[in-house]
Structure formats: C-alpha cells, structure tokens
Structure 1
C-alpha cells in the first residue's frame, strides 16, 4: 500500500516471519525491531505477509494525483544499484550479480513486462485514468536501464539503518555518480541494497519486503528504494512461487518497487487507486518468470488500466 503502518500488520506478519526467518538469524532480527518512532508511512511498501487485491475492478483503476510536468513519473528510467557497506564481502545468494543481470536485460523486445508501464504518464490533468496524446508518457527502454553500480564498501553500513540513513546513502550515491543537479535526477532511481545479516529500517520485523520514497537534497529530489537482503528470509519469502528458488523473492520485490518508482516517482504525486495503492500493491498475489537476454527472473504482476486487470506482460 502507499502507506504501511507497522502495527497494522499484526499477527499475519508475525506468522509469516515465524515460517520464513531462519533460526540462525531469529535472535539478530528480533533485536532490530523498530521503535515506536519508525511506525510512520513507508511509500510503496511490499509487505512480507502479502495482501489480496481489492474485489472491485473500479477500485483498482489507477488515476493521476497531480498535473505536474516533472517528478510525477519517470519517463526514461535509469537505475543505479548501490551495494551498501563492507558487509557485501559476503553475498551467499549472489544478489549482486543477479540484480545487475536483471536490470541489464530489462529492455527491448524480450521485456514484455516493462511495456505495461508505457500507458502511464505525467503532464496530464489531475484525475486522469487514460493519458491524452499530449501527455509525457513513460517510454519503453531500447537499451539497458542500468546506469551505474557502486559497492560502497569503505566502511560498514549500519546494522539497523534508519530511514534517514538510507536516504543519506541515496544522496551519497547521487554524488558518486555525478548526478548533482535536479535534471539527471528526474529519471534516476537509487536502489540501496543492504547486505546479508543487516536490518534496514527494522527489516524483517517491521513487516515489509522493501519500500521506496524520495528525499529532498542539495542535488534536488532523489527517488530511492530501501532493499533489504531478502534471501535471508529463505526461499518463498516475498514471492508467490514455491519452487525453492532463493532469488525469486528479491526479484519480485525489486520489480514491484521499480515499477512503483517509475509510476509514482516522488510519492505521492503519481498514479494511485481509490484505496491508496500503487501499480504493484494490488497485484502482490501474482508472479511470473520473464526470460531476458541476461537470464530468467521473477517479475511481479502490475495493474493495467488498459487491461482492467493485473498482468505480467503489456
């Protein structure tokens, strides 16, 4: 949902964690439980426990929340992967290679999932559900959207980073990549990936797989994602697949967050449904494997106004 309050997850999350968190990590995870001050909204949060889509198609329809010309969507998406902290010397699930391969391949004719996004736009009237021809549409990339990769390993990342620390790392990354004005940051999204054994924003006890947001900086507003090391939860977490593939959960989650960042770049200016959900929120019960030139990856279903349904291809 657009807003996720940790207390609202209740027993469902506790049950999911009991089933999915390995015994060896349970004690360290419990020590990372969020304080009362972290129960605020997290935009685009994908909950570990999962939720069902709304029953009525009319409630699912996404509409434009503002008539802004920039910062509403990301017309030409660029992804920057930031592997935060010296803890990335250990990567037992091979997340780094997997995330790079996924974004290197997510373009062109083989990417039939990304084409779902091209029906959405900015520079259109507030309340729009079908973009007019005069709007600025999200474009389908013809080449890799992976604009940069940085392993920031000069020091250890915080073991339980706060939202403010994650946002600060996004600013640090923008500086590292030379994106120091608003213009390049109108399409850049910074995915802050935390290493195995860490608990960014209270993960996993805070109940989410990941979330996205923006932060205001001297470089302009920056879109970023808090991406924990989901394989720490074991196979089957944060995905509907039950085939035991360990990387499916983080792929499903990152495609959820990527699509929501592209269609709601600076929350909450972009596309939402009547329940306050973004493009991925109502389709968390749907996953599919997508074969790209760089491998096969788990992509989460997205809501399509055009199809009036959750879909995994455009």
Structure 2
C-alpha cells in the first residue's frame, strides 16, 4: 500500500480508499506527519488493485492530546438529490440510526470517546450542486447544513455531506472513497464528504460482503464515523504512521454486524486493548453463512419421525418467489410436524454468567407465517430463551431478537427457528449470534 500526504488549505481529514498491495510496515511508514498549523493534509489510501490483499497496520493508536467526541450528534445533508437508484438514502439513515448501540462501535470507548451516536437530523437540500464539487464547496454546504440544523460549534457535531449519484469531488473512486475533517469556517465542527458510494462500484465496497451494492455505504461511512469520533480535529488518536482507528484495518476482515435496524456490512476497527482489528468489544457473529448468500453451511433441519421439513436456499438474482432482506440470498422453510425446525449449533463451552444475543429477520413467502425463534444452551440440561413471531409477506421482513443468559455450564449454543405446523412458509435472512456479556 502506498500512502501520500499532500498539503491543502482546507482542513481535510483522513480519506478512505481501498488498500493496495504492500506490507503493513510500508503502510505505516509511508505517511509523513501532518502539515504545519493553518493547513491540514489529505490522507489517501489508493484503490484496491486486483489480487492485492489488504494488510492490517500494526502498532497502537497514540493519544496526541486533541479532543474526542463524547456525545456524537450526526447530521446528514442530502445535497441536491434528485434520484437514488441504489436506495442509499434510506440505508444510510437506517445504519446511522442503529449502529450506535452495537458492540462494533463500542470499540471507540477505550479511547475516551462515546459510542451511541444519535442521528440528530437529515436534510434534503434542494439547492443545485456542481457535477464535481470541490472540497471548498463541500465545506460551504456543511456550513449551510449546520446553520439549517442550528448545530452550534460543539466538537460533538458531525455533518455528513452526502452528494447524489453523478456528483462527486474529484478523486472519488480512484484516490479515495470518503474523507473527514474540520470545517474551516466553524471551529470544532466536523464534516464528511460522502459521495454516492455505488457509483464507484467495488472500488468503494459495493458487493464486498453480502453482494449488495449498498455494502460500501455502511463500510465507508462506518469507517469515517469511527474516525471522526476518535480523531475529530486530526490531533487525537493516531498511530506513529498517521493512521486512524479505521485506516489500520481498512478493507480487511469485512463482515456484517447485527443491529435493531438490520444487518450492515462493516470493516473491523483497531483496538489497542486487543492489539488488533476487532468487529466489536464482544466477539463477531458466531454463525456460519448468516446471510444465506448461496451458502447454508452449518445449517441443519430437525425432522421428527414421520414429518417433513421443507427448505430452499433462494437466490433472488436467479429468480425467487419473494425478496431477500439483505443481498440476494435467503432461506425459506415450512413443516407439517411439531418440533420441525431449522437450526445451527455453535460450540462454546462456557459457564454461568455469559450473555448471548441472537437476531434474525423473518418474513413470509406468501400471506402469513408464524412460529417460534429460540436460542438454546445445551449441556447436562437444556435451557432456552424464545420469542414468538407472526409475519406477513405484505409487510415484509421484521426484526426479532432473543437474549440468553447462561445459567450453568453449556457446551453448545443452538440458534433455532420453529415454524408453526402448516402455518405458512417462513423466509429467514440476516441471522446473528454474538456474545454481549
């Protein structure tokens, strides 16, 4: 990977792009120190090159004494949007509304920052914009948004200037995917230049986790969100090579995280405590094939004697009777016998006191479907936490979760869904199982 620092009058932050080939040591040492006071430097990661595997940049983040965001407030300015062919606006709103309560973002807490950011407001500014707005124009629009929202000048304020399809600052997709910095005209207020991510395709993450064009939206904005929280004015938590919390893990170990608003693709964040890249303070998703993207490895059917459990792993790209929740894959199943179910076993070998959260999105193939969703602890005796579900194809996927407190030594966790006997076909997508305590 090659990094390049260039001086700029605008107070730009660290830009996010795809990692190119090269060792972690080269990545960490290629960046120079920030420019002199009164200027800042753009910090660019070049686009991914075919066959180049991203590398983790080792070494701790260092506290340079600047402020962090302890109560982040996120404002999104959709500047001049006339169309949204990929559906990025609702996806971004949903991500920012739910990511603050996740173990993934809790990683920032060890740096004295606050997770739980609030999507404090969105604005669709109808004003026109240039085909390729400059950074100065992005900053001016951030000022317009701050005035519109009445944000004041707290360091906790993040203004995300989201530009529509076909309108991006020069360098998008070839030199960077997004960047953040401080608004020159509003001391302490931070901004993010967030172009229409799917315009850049796989260079900025489209299809990189679930197969969805929207993957890059949450990967890139998640990167910028965490970096702005821990290094809002570019003088707080940075490593010896000038890398922030997201840069050190950029494009490596991509995965999905469960939230109350659905599953989202993200990159890991650097944890000094773990001395590595983590997907959360409480472990990653323990399930195999949680999004059913043409793969159901680890999933099984429980079929009591004399009964039937039908199941099909559908791919909407190849034709399916119903939509998926994320990506193109989902698992549909039904049964004609009590106890018939779909499950996955996860070995854990843990004693009393552990806490796990299981999450899933459920819908119906057609009409109504119902059943019970459980997380079991299997050991010398078996215990569970369950919730009933009633879903309908007319209303689409609904989110369900159960929390299981381990009461005794167990060897296995079982994620299990029991459809009601002859109670319709259940569609399942975006499953998650994480340890939360």
Shared fold (TM-score, shorter chain, > 0.5) = yes
> How many matched pairs?
247
| Mapping for residues 14-25 of structure 1, pairs under 5 Å | none
Cα distance 1:94–1:211, how it changes in 2: closer, same or farther (>3 A)?
same
Give ranges in structure 1 of 5+ residues lacking alignment: 7-11, 17-39, 122-137
**1:236: Cα distance to partner?**
6.7
State the shift of 1:240 in Å.
8.4
Q: Which digits, 9 at most, give the CA deviation of each residue in 1:45-103, with x for residues without a partner?
A: 5543285223xx4xx2001112x4xxx21011111111111xx1210111100010011
In 1: Cα distance, 2:45 partner to 2:104 partner: 19
1:187 is aligned, of 124, 141, 156, to 156
Look up the SS of the partner of 2:41 in the other structure.
coil
Quote the Cα distance in structure 1 between the aligned partners of 2:253 and 2:192. 21
Aligned to 2:72: 77
| Pairing 1:141-290 to 2, within 5 Å after superposition | 141=116, 145-153=118-126, 155-180=127-152, 182=153, 185-205=154-174, 207-217=175-185, 219-235=186-202, 237-238=204-205, 241=208, 243-267=210-234, 269-284=235-250, 285-290=252-257
**Equivalent residue in structure 2 for 1:305, among 272, 276, 296:** 272
Aligned twin of 1:140:
115
8 Å contact 1:223–1:266 — kept in the other structure?
yes
Deviation at 1:204, TM superposition (A): 2.7
Q: Residues of 2 paired with 1:198 and 1:247: CA distance? A: 17
Distance 1:240 1:262 in 2: 27
Equivalents in 1 of 2:244, 2:207: separation in Å? 19
Change (3 A) 1:281 1:145: same
- State the SS of the aligned residue for 2:221: helix
Partners of 1:251 and 1:4 in 2: CA distance: 25
Other structure's SS at 2:217 match? helix
In structure 2, relative to structure 1, the CA distance for the partners of 1:240 and 1:311 (3 Å cut) is: farther
How far, CA to CA, are the matches of 2:109 and 2:128 in structure 1?
39
Unaligned runs of 5+ in 2: 7-16, 22-39, 282-437
Q: Deviations over 1:253-310 (max 9, x none)?
A: 100000000000111x110111110001010112220111111111211100000010
Higher helix share: 1
Deviations 1:20-53 (A, max 9, x none): xxxxxxxxxxxxxxxxxxxx8324x554328522
Contact 1:160 1:202 in 2 (8 A): no
- CA distance in structure 2 between the aligned counterparts of 1:258 and 1:83, rounded to whole angstroms: 17
- 1:145–1:280 CA distance, 2 compared to 1 (3 A): same
Distance in 1 separating the partners of 2:190 and 2:268:
22
Residues 161, 240 of structure 1: alpha-carbon distance in 2 compared, 3 angstrom cutoff: same
Distance 2:178 2:172 in 1: 8
Report what 2:56 is aligned to.
53
The answer on whether the counterparts of 1:290 and 1:296 sit within 8 Å (CA) in structure 2 is yes
Q: Secondary structure at the match of 1:234?
A: helix
Alpha-carbon distance in 1 for matches of 2:92, 2:60: 30
Provide TM-score, normalisation by structure 1.
0.72
SS of 1:202's equivalent? coil
Partner of 1:35: none
| Contact 2:69-2:156 within 8 A present in 1 as well | yes
TM-score by length of structure 2 reads 0.53
| 1:102 has 2:106 as partner | no
RMSD of aligned alpha carbons: 2.7
Q: 1:238-261 CA distances to partner (integer Å, 9 max, x unpaired)?
A: 368354211001210100000000
Pair 117,46 (structure 1): closer, same or farther in 2 beyond 3 Å: farther
Please give the alpha-carbon distance, in whole angstroms, between the structure 2 residues aligned to 1:204 and 1:114: 25
Residue 109 (structure 2) aligns with: 118
